[in-house]
Chains A and B, each alone.
Chain A
Amino acid sequence: EAQVTQNPRYLITVTGKKLTVTCSQNMNHEYMSWYRQDPGLGLRQIYYSMNVEVTDKGDVPEGYKVSRKEKRNFPLILESPSPNQTSLYFCASSLVDSYNEQFFGPGTRLTVL
């Protein structure tokens, strides 16, 4: 089944404790992206990647890191989480050679205390 997966789905952590949210897709998509969803603000892009070893900042990259060492994986790293990073996070992927439907993962609800 073609899908985007994320882990963990829920995470409660404390300020400053490094964490990683994994994202994986099995559709051979070149493009992958991370969004955060906050009430009244919609989906805001954090980082994106057009292909392996190619990443770039989105609209709200502060406090986040990403890597793209393999085509299928695009982990989101919070080196020192803060309470303002409490949010719902979505990973998405798509092709880049056509009108590009983005396929979203199931979401990760992160709470930073």
Chain B
Amino acid sequence: GENVEQHPSTLSVQEGDSAVIKCTYSDSASNYFPWYKQELGKRPQLIIDIRSNVGEKKDQRIAVTLNKTAKHFSLHITETQPEDSAVYFCAASKVRNNNDMRFGAGTRLTVKP
């Protein structure tokens, strides 16, 4: 089955700096890579996702890149703000096959004002 590794486990940045979280996956057949944000005491919520036929996707201050050959994908947050502080999870799965969605261990991002 799929195995997802996520780094770093904790990340602290100054407000306005960029933050990068990296994930690797093991199953070359995986083709859907979502990122979830979990604020303290809240449920995980999807913030951005990327499909295997796309190398990069942006949504305002967040972007995700995918390298299928190397089997890794990354989340980039620019101009970080204190409200970006949260735990971020990457995941990998195959479309129409949710039973094999696997999550990374999570990255706790702290943005210091």
Contacts and interface: CB of A to CB of B under 8 A. Distances in A.
Nearest to A50: B99
A100 B98 contact: yes
Given A104-B45, A106-B43, A42 B98 contact: no
A31 interface: yes
Main secondary structure of the interface of B (DSSP, over half): strand
Interface residues of B, number: 24
A107 B44 CA distance: 9
Interface string A19-54: 000000000000101010000111111001010000
B6 interface: yes
Interface size class of A (residues with CB under 8 A): 20 to 34
Interface string B15-28: 00000000000000
B13 interface: no
A99 B98 CA distance: 9
A50 B34 CA distance: 20
A102 B101 contact: yes
